Structure formats: C-alpha cells, structure tokens
C-alpha cells in the first residue's frame, strides 16, 4: 500500500505521543513538523529525526495529503480550515472546535472541497474498548438501561507545563476530558438524544503547581465542575460528571447497566485496561482483553485508520461527523445549565465499524459493517 504523507501543525505536549504512535503504523509517512513558534518545531523534529518547516511550506507540500492538527483547542478550527483551503484532508486532536457552529463550518467546508475530516479521540480503537463493543453487540447485557461516567481530579495545573488554556474558553473538564468518555459511549451505545446538565466554578484563580510556572496564577473563565444526564437514542440514560475541583473519588470511569448484566469499561483515555462483567445472579468476572491495540499508547491509530480509509475508499472511524456529535453533546451541558432545562441533540452519528480481532503489525484494513444492536 502506498504510504500517506502527513504534515503536523502544533508541536506541543501531546505531539510526542502522536509521533511515537506513528512509528507503529507503516501507512503513515511524517513529512514535516511545523509550529507557530518555529523553535518548538525544531526541537521536536530533532528529537524524532524529522524535518521542521514553516507552516506555509507544510501546506504547500504536494506530498502531504493529511494535516495532523495538534494545536490548542482554540486554534483547531482556524488551522483545520487552513488545511482544507490548501486541499489537504485534516485530522485534529480533540475537540473538533470549541463551539458546535465552528465544527459545522469545518465539516461543511470539507464537503464543499471533497475532503475528509477526522478527529480524536481514538482511544475507542483500543483492545479493551473493542472487547466491550463486542460484548454489547453480542447482546450479553440484555436491554441497556443506563450507565455512569466519571472523570474528576484536582486540575491539570498540577502537572502541565503551561496549563492556563484549560481554564479559558475552549477548556474546562467537560470539553477537555468529555470527548473520551462520550465518544466511547457513542461507540458502545449509539448517538445521544438529549442532555440535562449543571455546571459550577469553585475558584476564580488557581495557583500553578508545575514547573516552570510554579507560583503563578491562572484566571478561571469556564465551569470547572460539570455534571448531568445523557439520554441515548437506544433508550439508555447515563449519568456523567467531569471536574477539575475534586481531590479524588472511588467511582469507576465507565459502567454500563443492562437487564442481564453489568459491564465495567476501562478508562476511555487509555487503550487497554481490565474489562469486567457481572451476569444477573452471578459474580464479577474478568474478561480477557484479547483484541489488538490494548498493550500500549497507540495515539494516532485514528489517523492511521483515516490514511488506510483513503487508500481503501471506505469511511474512516474517527470521523468528523462523530466528533461534531460529541461536541454538540458537550456544548449542550453548558446550554442546559444556563437554561435550566433539557436540551435536545440535533445531530446524530453512526457507530464506528468495529475493528477486526486479527489486526497485527500496524494494519487497519476494512471491517464488517457496524452492528446496529445496542441492547435496546
């Protein structure tokens, strides 16, 4: 298979994970790195033995087919549109945009240009989550009636070297971490029908605890504790809470409740983890995670799938449509909290096709059509 040329714009904290992951997928050919601060791109290029170039040169390179957009969330749409105008497909780090109307603009422009949009997260490709998908599709849980999703921590200023953007428009725990949880839930259960949410902000200023900015303060401009209920089209009702204000908790990341069994889904920010199931009237049992891509951080697998899809002429799984649906759900929590009422979700999303269980050596070929059954 002819490799797909990739140009990377944005060489910040997450780029190393993508560049490491790209090494495991032969279809990806990283042609160059660019950043608004050229020295940042040069440092990253030296680390990975790649080429640092200006953003304009990257966009003009005829050998580059996909722009990997790893800028901060506020720049995702601007850079994505630049890539599309240059005739490139674009794959973005999550979220697709910081507002739903921005995401719609990107997808509309891509359709006009006949180009593809892909978007993280791609952790639902991971072996543990694909095993959970198979369990759901097999009907083991019976009718799925509900679930829970929890991400709560003290905040990213504990470890991130430049954490201010987490507390500015485009940040906050729901927009930052919600995509992992909601995308995995859509992969398992299908699209969301409505949202009911509440949101609070515990502090106006937060001290940075990480180097090199330790002791400085960031102003908090967004809600830092967001909770609510998602009603899925299949009938399931899932409670969710995301927070940067919580010292700790003992909730599991994801639980799915069916009439016949309960399923424990591992951390959706990871590719692996222990899957567990409790049959009605039975006892908890570990489920073997024998699907591929469960043994490491495979960040960029969604990009690799998009590259394979270009060559195979098939849909890619981490699609712009999926990301837009998730973004609308996330935005609905803010709207619901402000309006004090349930918000209907206008968009929909097709469940991504499951991965085959025999993929090896970085392959991501065609898969069977996605199963429509979600236990409802």
144 lies in the same domain as 214: yes
115 lies in the same domain as 138: no
- Listed residues 269, 287, 305: the one ending a domain: 287
Residue 358: how many CB atoms within 10 A of its CB?
A: 9
**Distance between CA atoms of residues 54 and 65, nearest Å:** 17
CA distances (Å), origin 190, targets 7, 176, 329, 333, 371 = 32, 21, 13, 18, 10
Position 214 scores a pLDDT of 95
The answer to whether residue 36 is domain-embedded is yes
The answer to whether residue 371 is domain-embedded is no
The answer to whether residue 231 is domain-embedded is yes
119 lies in the same domain as 153: no
- Listed residues 241, 267, 287: the one ending a domain: 287
Given CA atoms 92, 103, 316, 82 in this order, what sign does their dihedral have?
Answer: negative
User: What does each of the 376 residues of the chain score in pLDDT, given as a tens digit?
Assistant: 799 999 999 999 899 999 999 999 999 999 999 999 999 999 999 999 999 999 999 999 999 999 999 999 999 999 999 999 999 999 999 999 999 999 999 999 999 999 999 999 999 999 999 999 999 999 999 999 999 999 999 999 999 999 999 999 989 999 999 999 999 999 999 999 999 999 999 999 999 999 999 999 999 999 999 999 999 999 999 999 999 999 999 999 999 999 999 999 999 999 999 999 999 999 999 999 989 999 889 999 999 999 999 999 999 999 999 999 999 999 999 999 999 999 999 999 999 999 987 676 677 765 444 444 443 3
Position 174 scores a pLDDT of 97
65 lies in the same domain as 144: no
145 lies in the same domain as 222: yes
Domain that holds residue 117: 4-123+297-344
Instruction: Identify which of 66, 7, 79, 73 has the alpha carbon closest to the alpha carbon of residue 36.
Output: 79
The answer to whether residue 372 is domain-embedded is no
- CATH number for the domain spanning 34: value is 3.40.50.720
**Distance between CA atoms of residues 25 and 204, nearest Å:** 44
> Structurally, how many domains does the chain consist of?
2
183 lies in the same domain as 256: yes
215 lies in the same domain as 174: yes
CA count, 13 A, side-chain hemisphere, 31:
20
- CATH number for the domain spanning 147: value is 3.30.360.10
Strands (E), 212-362: 217-219, 225-232, 237-243, 254-258, 261-265, 275-279, 285-287, 343-344
169 lies in the same domain as 220: yes
Position 370 scores a pLDDT of 44
The answer to whether residue 118 is domain-embedded is yes
The answer to whether residue 141 is domain-embedded is yes
The answer to whether residue 282 is domain-embedded is yes
Instruction: Identify which of 316, 367, 374 has the alpha carbon closest to the alpha carbon of residue 188.
Output: 374
Position 368 scores a pLDDT of 44
23 lies in the same domain as 112: yes
93 lies in the same domain as 20: yes
157 lies in the same domain as 26: no
261 lies in the same domain as 332: no
Joined together, the tokens standing for residue 167 give: 């507390």
66-69 and 4-9 beta bridge pairing = parallel
């Amino acid at each position: 298979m002819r490799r797909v040329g990739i140009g990377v714009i944005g060489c910040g904290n997450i780029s190393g994970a993508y560049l490491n992951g790209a090494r495991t997928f032969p279809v990806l050919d990283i042609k160059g790195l660019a950043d608004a601060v050229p020295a940042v791109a040069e440092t990253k290029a030296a680390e990975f033995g790649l080429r640092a170039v200006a953003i304009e040169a990257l966009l003009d390179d005829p050998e580059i087919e996909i722009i990997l957009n790893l800028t901060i969330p506020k720049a995702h749409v601007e850079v994505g549109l630049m890539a599309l105008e240059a005739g490139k497909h674009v794959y973005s780090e999550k979220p697709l945009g910081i507002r739903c109307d921005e995401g719609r603009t990107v997808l509309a422009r891509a359709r006009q240009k006949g180009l593809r949009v892909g978007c993280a997260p791609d952790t639902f490709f991971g072996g543990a989550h694909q095993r959970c998908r198979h369990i759901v599709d097999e009907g083991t849980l019976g009718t799925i009636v509900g679930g829970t999703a929890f991400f709560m921590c003290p905040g990213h200023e504990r470890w991130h070297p430049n954490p201010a953007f987490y507390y500015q428009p485009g940040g906050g725990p729901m927009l930052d971490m919600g995509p992992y949880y909601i995308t995995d839930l859509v992969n398992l259960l299908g699209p969301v029908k409505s949202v009911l949410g509440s949101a609070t902000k515990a502090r106006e200023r937060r001290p940075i605890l990480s180097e090199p900015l330790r002791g400085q303060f960031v102003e908090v401009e967004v809600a830092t504790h967001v909770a609510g209920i998602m009603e899925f089209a299949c009938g399931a009702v899932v409670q969710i809470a995301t927070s940067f204000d919580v010292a700790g908790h003992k909730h599991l990341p994801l639980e799915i409740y069916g009439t016949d069994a309960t399923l424990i889904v591992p951390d959706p920010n990871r590719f692996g983890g222990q899957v567990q199931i409790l049959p009605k009237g039975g006892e908890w049992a570990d489920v073997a995670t024998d699907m591929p891509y469960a043994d490491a951080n495979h960040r960029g697998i969604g990009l690799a799938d998009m590259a394979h899809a270009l060559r195979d002429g098939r849909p890619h799984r981490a699609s712009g449509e999926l990301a837009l649906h998730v973004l609308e759900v996330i935005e609905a929590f803010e709207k619901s909290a402000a309006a004090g009422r349930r918000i209907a979700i206008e968009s929909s999303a097709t469940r991504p096709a499951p991965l085959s269980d025999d993929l090896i050596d970085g392959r991501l070929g065609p898969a069977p059509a996605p199963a429509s059954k979600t236990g409802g």
